[in-house]
A = this chain, B = another copy of it.
Amino acid sequence: MVTDIREKIAAANDEVASKLAASNPVLVDIQAAGQVVPGLEDRMVLHSGPPVTWQNMCGAQRGAVMAMAVFEGWADTPEEAADLVAGGQIALSPNHHHDAVGPMAGTITKSLPVYVVENQAFGNTAYCRLVEDRQQFGDYSEEAIHDLRMWRDVWAPSLAKGITHIGGLSLKPIITKALQMGDELHNRPNAATSLFAGAMSVPMIEAGVSKDDLVSTLSYVTGHDLLFLGLAMASAKSAADSAANVEYSTVVTAMARNGTEFGIRVSGLGDQWFTAPAPKADGLYMPGYGDADGGLDMGDSAITETVGWGGFVLGGAPGILPLVGGTPEEALAYSREMREITHAISPDYLIPALGFQGTSVGIDIRKVVQTGILPIIDTAIAHVEPGHPIIGAGLVRPPLECFQNALRAFAVKYNPG
């Protein structure tokens, strides 16, 4: 009966939304991915978005994969790396299949330290790599790879010492504060980064990190406004995964792009991806670059919108508008619009500019299809070719097709009659 299935869906979505809202992300460690990420094999590169073959992979993600092969010492040059992947000697797998996420190209390999975020409300763990503005955009230059080495050899181990010294750093209080300090936690995690720097300084000192490493690591953290995006993504992934696989739920648990396809997952539909060609961001380009240079949308970072941050809280983060475009009024309108396609409101994450209303939680595929209102996503823009750093930023909406396909699959699974 229709009434029966509607009630089951409502109950399932209540459960999913309350799990998303009650999640309690705690940074418990920063460890080499090979030591912690489930299913990550030796010669394997994890990437953002739904599954994709090397043949279909976009230029920027190819460039990032090549950089990782050089970083790991599997190849001496980006060209050699490309040959190894093309020849099947280096495997590719989506981050999302390994409890992980990564910004832009999203590449993770065994030696790269990842944030280990435990959702202490539900016991699951999620992983995210560092954020930077070169290699993750497909830049395979020595300079781009140098930052990954500093992260591996100095910054990640120093931070890890501080984190383990205090037995883990609770991220929910930082996220709560940052959302009241003009952050949307995707393209603008400035306040959260600053609060994180403040929270880590004393623990690193107390843990006995050497003076040189302390200076290098605190200079890195305090000089890198985007740092917390990696922690926001791991927090969001840990929440989304705890809410996955709830039978009958029509709520989205992942939105991710690989620069070729945009894919979503839905709680009641398990691990299946519903994909469509990736859109192009409506954005602003850095000097020297234009629309013709911009690749299609890429990155697992839309996991932040999946849990109600990023574009969904743009109204509370007008400081980001020079980067992505638009007016404060439009930003508030986006945030109000997202109410139309979500299931609940967070009791903890409050937005002052919206009169301390909570963030919108739980994108309902039925509401998206019925209203035609698509989630609004803050994003950055990578080059269409490999070998470039960041070239722009903007706003993007997923293809409606992803939601339509998911809704059809939902009907087939739950209402075959």
A171 on the B face (CB < 8 A): no
Could you tell me the distance between the alpha carbons of A404 and B197 in the complex, rounded to whole angstroms? 49
A272 on the B face (CB < 8 A): no
B219 touches A202 (CB 8 A): yes
Contacting residue for A215 out of B190, B205, B222, B328, CB 8 A = B205
Could you tell me the distance between the alpha carbons of A198 and B220 in the complex, rounded to whole angstroms? 11
A206 on the B face (CB < 8 A): yes
A201 on the B face (CB < 8 A): yes
- Size of the chain A interface, CB-CB below 8 angstroms: 34
Which B residues touch A221, using CB under 8 A? 198
Contacting residue for A202 out of B191, B198, B215, CB 8 A = B215
Please indicate which of the listed interface residues A215, A222, A355 has the most CB atoms of chain B within 10 Å of its own CB: A222
Q: Tell me the minimal C-beta distance from A85 to chain B in angstroms.
A: 40
A121 on the B face (CB < 8 A): no
A201 touches B197 (CB 8 A): yes
B352 touches A182 (CB 8 A): yes
Which B residues touch A197, using CB under 8 A? 194, 197-198, 201
Which B residues touch A214, using CB under 8 A? 205
A356 on the B face (CB < 8 A): yes
What per-residue 1/0 map shows which CB atoms of A175-187 lie under 8 Å from chain B?
A: 0010011110000
B215 touches A319 (CB 8 A): no
Which B residues touch A202, using CB under 8 A? 215, 218-219, 222
Could you tell me the distance between the alpha carbons of A120 and B181 in the complex, rounded to whole angstroms? 29
A53 on the B face (CB < 8 A): no
Q: Which chain B residue shows the least CB distance to A356? A: B322
A373 on the B face (CB < 8 A): no
Q: Which chain B residue shows the least CB distance to A193? A: B198
What per-residue 1/0 map shows which CB atoms of A348-362 lie under 8 Å from chain B?
A: 000011111000000
Interface residues in A293-347 (C-beta closer than 8 Å to B)? 318-319, 321-322, 327-328
Which B residues touch A353, using CB under 8 A? 318, 328, 353
A408 on the B face (CB < 8 A): no
A84 on the B face (CB < 8 A): no
Which B residues touch A194, using CB under 8 A? 191, 194-195, 197-198
A276 on the B face (CB < 8 A): no
Could you tell me the distance between the alpha carbons of A219 and B166 in the complex, rounded to whole angstroms? 14
Q: Tell me the minimal C-beta distance from A315 to chain B in angstroms.
A: 10
Q: Tell me the minimal C-beta distance from A223 to chain B in angstroms.
A: 9
Q: Tell me the minimal C-beta distance from A197 to chain B in angstroms.
A: 5
Could you tell me the distance between the alpha carbons of A228 and B322 in the complex, rounded to whole angstroms? 26
Contacting residue for A328 out of B183, B195, B319, B352, CB 8 A = B352
A180 touches B319 (CB 8 A): yes
Which B residues touch A321, using CB under 8 A? 352, 356
Which B residues touch A177, using CB under 8 A? 190
Q: A194-B197, A198-B198, A205-B214 are in contact. List 9 more A-B contacts (CB 8 A).
A: A181-B181, A197-B198, A197-B201, A198-B221, A201-B218, A202-B219, A328-B353, A328-B354, A328-B355
- For the complex of A and B, 10 pairs with smallest distance between CB atoms: A318-B352, A198-B222, A194-B194, A180-B319, A319-B352, A182-B182, A181-B182, A197-B198, A201-B201, A181-B181
Q: What are some 29 contacts across the A-B interface (CB < 8 A)?
A: A180-B319, A181-B181, A181-B182, A181-B183, A181-B190, A181-B191, A181-B319, A182-B182, A182-B191, A191-B194, A194-B194, A194-B195, A197-B197, A197-B198, A197-B201, A198-B198, A199-B222, A201-B218, A202-B218, A202-B219, A202-B222, A205-B205, A205-B211, A205-B214, A205-B218, A319-B352, A321-B356, A328-B354, A328-B355
